[in-house]
Structure 1
Amino acid sequence: MLHRESAIATVKDYDLPITPQQYSEAIMPMYYDKWLQAKPHPGVNRLIKHLHKHGVPFALASNSRGKNVEFKLSSQKGWKDYFSVVLSSDHVKSGKPSPDIFLEAANKLGVDTACCLVIEDSMVGIIAGKAANMQVVAVPSIQIESDEFSIADYVIHSLLDFQPELWGLPPFDDRVLNSLPIEPIHFKGSYTNGILQEISDDGASDLSGQVWGVYFGWVDFDSQKRFKIVVSIRWDSRRGSFTRNIQACFINESNEQICDQPMEVALVGFIRGFQTKQNRSADTQILDQDKSTAEACLNLAAYSY
């Protein structure tokens, strides 16, 4: 929804003893505090810089209000300079799922809608992109059954899996030893019997819904000792809800000796996503090849931390 629509709906649904305007004035400072702490999903900065480097024009089209879009852009280094066009709900009569904002983006870019690719994380955005006669890649920010996004032309779990060449765009060329150096993903956890349980006591975790696939990195313990680790991160559906599942394997260390110890994890490399729907449990297993790749990469400067 547009902000004004969601404010009206929230006040009505919860029978709040205030007006939508009063609700909005009370809630927005909380959003601003959180936006200052927000970090891009994995692969976002990589894609933005790649397109900018190759002179591919791209627009930001958001249902948010203009001043909120401006604040969010200002909170991310370089973003204001990268986008060729920035549009908010202030620029159109109807927000998503109406196609208006995407049609206006194409108009501002000076291109035909059939030549545009939309990357979206929500159903309303996907509907709007298809209604604008554009191709759409869905990258759900909240993990639900991918069938919900079947109207998109392509569905991926993370932008680290995005392949520009499938859409006539310049391919990435930044992989090192068949893996991808990434901006470090930090979180705290505890390891037991092959499973790494996230500890989110202070809200300092970087594990967004789009952290999905086989990664590797470094682990620090209170003892100041550092280990190499490979993890397989996925979301499992149980009783109608999704829970994060993190399998972990320590390289050249005995996993048993590390059990039940609090640890700080920094993932610095991405090996692969998961493609096999029919046999997802096998696809998500940590393979010997994954371990060998991680060990070789972690000896390189590109994957240092």
Structure 2
Amino acid sequence: MTQKDSAAGICKDYDLPLTPDQYIKEITPMYREKWLQAKPLPGANRLIKHLHKHGVPFALASNSLQEYIDAKISHQRGWKEYFSVILGSDQVKSGKPSPYLFEEAAKRMGVDAAQCLVIEDSLVGVRAANAAKMKVVAVPPHSEADCSSLADSVLHSLLEFQPELWGLPPFEDWVDNALPIEPIHVRGVSVTGSVCEVSENGTPALRDQVFGFYFGWAKVDVQKSFKVMVSIGWDHCSCISKRKFHICIIDGNNEHLSHHQIQLLLVGYLRGLNSKDITSMNVEVLEDYKSIASASLDLPMFLHHACEPLFPEASPEDSFCSDEKE
């Protein structure tokens, strides 16, 4: 929704003693504090830099107000300079799901709307792309699964995106079947055997778009860390869908992690998951991926992360450089 529509709906649903404008005035400072902590989705910076490097014009068209977009992206390095056009809903007649945002973005880039590809994470955005007669790839959170029926393609993660399928230059950053990624930190993981769940007391929940096969390090305590391969998916077997983690120690067995609270530092990506991967894993396939992950973690482009603090707020000594080989 646009901000005004959202504010009006919240005031009505919660019977707040405020007008929508009063609510916006009260809530906006809280939002601004949260924007400082916002992180790009996995693969977002990679795609932005790739398109910019190859001279492909691309726009940011959001239902947010232009003022808020500028504030949000000011915390993301290079974004303001990389986007050819940055457009808010207050600069067109109406926002998504109307087509005007996307049509105006195409016009300002000097391209035909029919030749544009939209990447969206919401149903309302997919509908806007459809209305503008643009192709659309959806990378939705779990709650926006309705995108599937309307998008030309649906991905679980931007790391799955293949530009060449859409007439764009292919990525060239894979290293021997492994993709270096911006580190993903996960804490508060409770381990029982190889099936793990993120505890409620850990860091805020991982974004839904953290999905697929990853590798990195698992830390049990200050003295012990292990090379691991991790699959992260969704378990739909119960009435309520839950995150499902499978963690495999690469050089050893999972007994070292069982019944511990562990922290993960994921630095590489192997591929996405399919439904069979989530329910079971062929042993040969698993060993192949463990072999790729093990070799990759010895390469400088992955290994240098081992000496970084596990979390930005961690002390310098709380790093993986104290790795104990087992």
Secondary structure at 2:215 match in 1: strand
The Cα shift of 1:241 comes to 3.4
Alignment map for 1:72-87 (pairs within 5 Å): 72-87=72-87
1:143, 1:235 within 8 Å by CA — same for their partners in 2?
A: no
Provide the residue aligned with 2:60 in structure 1.
60
Secondary structure at 1:56 match in 2: coil
2:234, 2:278 within 8 Å by CA — same for their partners in 1?
A: no
The Cα shift of 1:29 comes to 1.4
Provide the residue aligned with 1:43 in structure 2.
43
Give the Cα–Cα distance (whole angstroms) in 1 for the partners of residues 41 and 277 of structure 2. 26
Secondary structure at 1:160 match in 2: helix
C-alpha distance 98-65 of structure 1, shift in aligned 2 (>3 A)? same
The Cα shift of 1:14 comes to 1.0
| Alpha-carbon displacement from aligned partner over 1:83-116 (angstroms, at most 9, x marks no partner) | 0000001111111000000000010000001110
Give the Cα–Cα distance (whole angstroms) in 2 for the partners of residues 209 and 37 of structure 1. 17
Give the Cα–Cα distance (whole angstroms) in 2 for the partners of residues 250 and 265 of structure 1. 12
Provide the residue aligned with 2:160 in structure 1.
161
Give the Cα–Cα distance (whole angstroms) in 1 for the partners of residues 114 and 97 of structure 2. 18
Give the Cα–Cα distance (whole angstroms) in 2 for the partners of residues 280 and 125 of structure 1. 29
1:234, 1:284 within 8 Å by CA — same for their partners in 2?
A: no
C-alpha distance 190-11 of structure 1, shift in aligned 2 (>3 A)? same
Provide the residue aligned with 2:298 in structure 1.
299
Spell out structure 1 runs of 4+ moving beyond 6 A. Answer: 283-286
Where structure 1 has 5 or more consecutive residues not aligned to the other structure, the ranges are none
Give the Cα–Cα distance (whole angstroms) in 1 for the partners of residues 202 and 215 of structure 2. 23
C-alpha distance 110-79 of structure 1, shift in aligned 2 (>3 A)? same
Secondary structure at 1:241 match in 2: coil
The Cα shift of 1:145 comes to 7.5
Give the Cα–Cα distance (whole angstroms) in 2 for the partners of residues 121 and 215 of structure 1. 22
The Cα shift of 1:190 comes to 2.5
AA partner of residue 291 (structure 2): S
Give the Cα–Cα distance (whole angstroms) in 1 for the partners of residues 292 and 277 of structure 2. 23
1:144, 1:242 within 8 Å by CA — same for their partners in 2?
A: no
Give the Cα–Cα distance (whole angstroms) in 1 for the partners of residues 209 and 240 of structure 2. 16
Give the TM-score normalised by structure 1. 0.94
Provide the residue aligned with 2:311 in structure 1.
none
The Cα shift of 1:33 comes to 1.1
Q: Does 1:196 align with 2:196?
A: yes
The Cα shift of 1:219 comes to 1.6
2:214, 2:231 within 8 Å by CA — same for their partners in 1?
A: yes
Provide the residue aligned with 1:7 in structure 2.
7
C-alpha distance 266-210 of structure 1, shift in aligned 2 (>3 A)? same
The Cα shift of 1:44 comes to 0.2
| Alpha-carbon displacement from aligned partner over 1:12-50 (angstroms, at most 9, x marks no partner) | 111111111111111111111111001001000000000
Where structure 2 has 5 or more consecutive residues not aligned to the other structure, the ranges are 306-326
Provide the residue aligned with 1:186 in structure 2.
185
The Cα shift of 1:208 comes to 1.1
2:123, 2:146 within 8 Å by CA — same for their partners in 1?
A: no
Give the TM-score normalised by structure 2. 0.88
2:126, 2:147 within 8 Å by CA — same for their partners in 1?
A: no
| Alpha-carbon displacement from aligned partner over 1:220-250 (angstroms, at most 9, x marks no partner) | 2224222101111001235553211001111
Identity %: 53
Corresponding residue pairs, total: 302
